[in-house]
């Protein structure tokens, strides 16, 4: 647990009625995600914007779509790059691809960012 997560954990323990609950149960009671899930949520929103062309110049070469037309799942799969160094696994493109490919079709095929965010909230509760 990093510093910010420990601060959030202590803050949930300060709320009356949440003292006996575990950290995860306290967050669920408050309708919040852990910091890890919120980071993932922000990454997936950024990936959606890149893929929909919001950042045309900056998004070039960010990731490539998988080549096969015969895939189960969302149909908007991205390819994972192969890196030899473990540190590169923390890069945005590698952090996001695995989770993006696990999203349901109705989430990734959202017509707008607003709809994507709404659908992503429900999908994230089952994703991580």
For tokens 């899930």, what's the residue?
Answer: 37
d(Cα 29, Cα 12) in Å, to the nearest integer? 10
Locate the domains of the chain by residue range.
1-32, 36-125
d(Cα 45, Cα 114) in Å, to the nearest integer? 10
At residue 59, the pLDDT reads 46
At residue 62, the pLDDT reads 52
At residue 14, the pLDDT reads 86
Q: For the chain, 128 residues long, give each residue's pLDDT as a single digit of tens.
A: 678 778 888 888 888 888 888 888 888 888 777 888 888 899 999 889 888 876 655 445 555 555 455 555 666 677 665 545 455 555 667 778 888 888 999 999 999 999 999 999 888 876 54
Taking the whole predicted model, whether its pTM rises above 0.75 is answered as: no
């Amino acid at each position: 647990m990093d510093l910010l997560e420990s601060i959030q954990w202590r803050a949930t323990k300060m709320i009356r009625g949440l003292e006996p609950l575990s950290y995860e149960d306290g967050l669920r009671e408050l309708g919040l995600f852990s910091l890890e899930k919120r980071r993932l949520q922000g990454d997936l929103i950024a990936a959606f914007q890149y893929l929909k062309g919001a950042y045309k110049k900056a998004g070039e070469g960010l990731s490539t779509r998988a080549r096969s037309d015969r895939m189960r799942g969302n149909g908007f799969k991205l390819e994972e790059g192969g890196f030899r160094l473990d540190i590169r696994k923390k890069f945005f493109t590698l952090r996001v691809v695995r989770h993006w490919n696990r999203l349901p079709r109705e989430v990734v095929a959202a017509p707008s960012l607003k709809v994507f965010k709404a659908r992503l909230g429900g999908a994230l509760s089952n994703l991580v």
